[in-house]
Amino acid sequence: MCGIYMTIQQTDVHAGEKVFAGLKKIEYRGYDSWGVVVLNKFGFTLKKRTGKLSKLGQMHFVEGKCALGHTRWATHGGVTKENAHPHLAKNKSFVLAQNGVVENFQELREQLLDWGYDFDSETDTEVIVGLLEFEMEQQKEQKLTSKIIRSVFRKLTGRNTIAILTQSGDSFAVRDGSPLIVGRSKDSAEIYFSSDVVSLSGDAVEYVVIQSGQMVEYVGKKLKITEVKSGKLVPFSFVPMSLDATVVDKEGYSSFMLKEIYEQAKVLSKVVVGKEKEFKAVAKTIKNAKTVFTLGAGTASYAAGHTAYILRKLGVPAVAIASYESDSFKQLCDEKSVCIVYSQSGETADTNEVVEWMKAKGAKIISAVNMPGSTLTQLSDFPFMLQVGPELAVASTKAFFGQMVWGMTVCELLSGSKFVEIKEIIYKFEQQLRVWFADILVQDKIRKLAESLVHKQHLFVLGRGDLYSSSLESALKLKEISYIHAEGFSGGELKHGVIALIEQGTPVLCLVAEDENKANMLNAISEINARGGFTIVIASKDNELYKEWIEVPELKFRGMSFMTLMSIVPSQLLTCYMAMKKGCDVDKPRNLAKSVTVK
């Protein structure tokens, strides 16, 4: 959701082109309009457009060594050129781009209107621009200073990250919430500000993550980081870009999503690499907790649901919370509570808000995140990096699998298994998945099924027990990418209402494991068949009841059932193939953003 990319070059006059290329790398965050402003001796030149920049091919900009770019995901005001960022100050002394929402925007806008400010857009962003200009006038300053920015920033409520480029080539950025990274080239001749580390690949060789509540300024070739509230200097050091953070290539796959699905066969073991001590510490903390909450939004909420399910089976009082439905749990949370939080981005506003109130109540926060330097990592007592590599498709696949494996590992440790045994079984699962991906017959079957399902209006996914969360996640994947109306249900829920929707040819994906739920799932399948439904069963063993069978391996190790993951992979593939067939954008589904940083 919204992205910032800014550069200050010492010699290269193609800053505009560099920023345009940078914006393409943060496209995955989700946006509906974009803008690039270039600074040269004649002042600022702005180019703004609605729609996708990737469709435009090569673009040319006026020459200039400094440029600021932004991808906007509309919140205040429609998708128009006028509302796109960056916004130019009326006194032409600076341009500004913002990620976030100014929650007290109406009140501030009215104040500015009273003072005679004339708005050019409907955005909350322009309120910040107006306040900065007003403050410059009050302080009789010709140039924007860090002091002015600090005082205006303190007037804003909500989470906002802003980037500013001034007429004299000074650049400032303040982070509250939405991520902000500063990178520099090998010889320090080029400075970059961006919304994520991945986009800096190819431009910067090292980076520093700006933390929430910090301001960074690059003035007179000097980089300074300060606390926004106090203005106190913050010591910092650059870290080298790691190889993992720079893999932003489709590597021959038609989409990042397809590539990331296939990567599940090699990145899951990374979740546990080098983390034995940390996992054991977390297991101990959970053991001593009075209540364990598991938390996440969307896909991450299903991983949370699954972890809570296995924790309860181990006798741990665990409750799963979907981030946007947390109110009723407030009274149950105290200093004896522990919360396990899943988030790919670590920037989900709904999730981080819950974490904040839980922290205020004294709960311990354990998080499993995939983005280095994210807000959630900062908020956590036990932050874990999932280490599955950048996930660039909007739909989460490998990060979700990483969260599931993280939860399974902790639970297995709690039930007494050795860390080394858990590691081995994860490797084994990866191996099995590689073999399954290479099975041409199964893969062909999935492609053909996708073709036969592509014109269906509705599809249901049934799973029970351990596979209930898997059914919810499978349905979400199908909705998000192929736009088919898919719903996940417990196999047990069928008779209590859902069965009314089954008619001749209604496709129902059924997830069946060789466990205590199998008999009930077979009953459900018979009932669907009896009403003409089309049952497609994902299972390790065939059965005459199945209209279609997608064979998957079923790996178990004590309490760990990898069927929870394996049963989802066919849906991940089905949704990709269906979307491709429909001509949809697999990596950037309509209306969705990778990182949902506003509420």
Q: Which residues are catalytic?
A: 2, 594
Residues forming contacts to ligand AGP in the complex (CB under 6 A) are: 297-300, 343-345, 348, 351, 394-396, 480, 592, 595-596
- DSSP track, 301-355: HHHHHHHHHHHHHTT--EEEEETTS-GGGGGG--TTEEEEEEESSS--HHHHHHH
CB 394, min distance to ligand AGP, A:
5
Q: What are phi and psi of 574, to 5 degrees?
A: -55, -45
Contacts of 84 (CB under 8 A, 6+ apart): 33, 34, 35, 48, 49, 50, 70, 72
CB closer to ligand AGP out of 449 and 596: 596
CB closer to ligand AGP out of 123 and 348: 348
CB 406, min distance to ligand AGP, A:
13
CB closer to ligand AGP out of 1 and 521: 1
CB 192, min distance to ligand AGP, A:
23
CB 111, min distance to ligand AGP, A:
34
Counting beta carbons within 10 angstroms of the beta carbon of residue 255, is it exposed (0 to 12), middle (13 to 18) or buried (19 or more)?
Answer: buried
Cβ atoms of residues 534 and 441 within 8 Å: no
CB closer to ligand AGP out of 457 and 591: 591
CB closer to ligand AGP out of 9 and 161: 161
How far apart CA 384 and CA 569 sit, in angstroms, is: 24
CB 212, min distance to ligand AGP, A:
16
Encoded tokens for 535: 């049952």
Amino acid of residue 498: V
* 86: preceding bond cis by omega (within 30 degrees): yes
CB 596, min distance to ligand AGP, A:
5
CB 299, min distance to ligand AGP, A:
3
CB closer to ligand AGP out of 299 and 564: 299
Task: Give just the sign of the alpha carbon dihedral 400, 402, 407, 412.
Answer: positive
Strands 485-490 and 507-511: unpaired
Helix runs in 42-178, H state only: 105-114, 125-138, 146-153
Question: Whose CB is nearest to ligand AGP?
Answer: 298
Contacts of 376 (CB under 8 A, 6+ apart): 341, 343, 346, 347, 348, 351, 352, 355, 367, 369, 383
CB closer to ligand AGP out of 170 and 350: 350
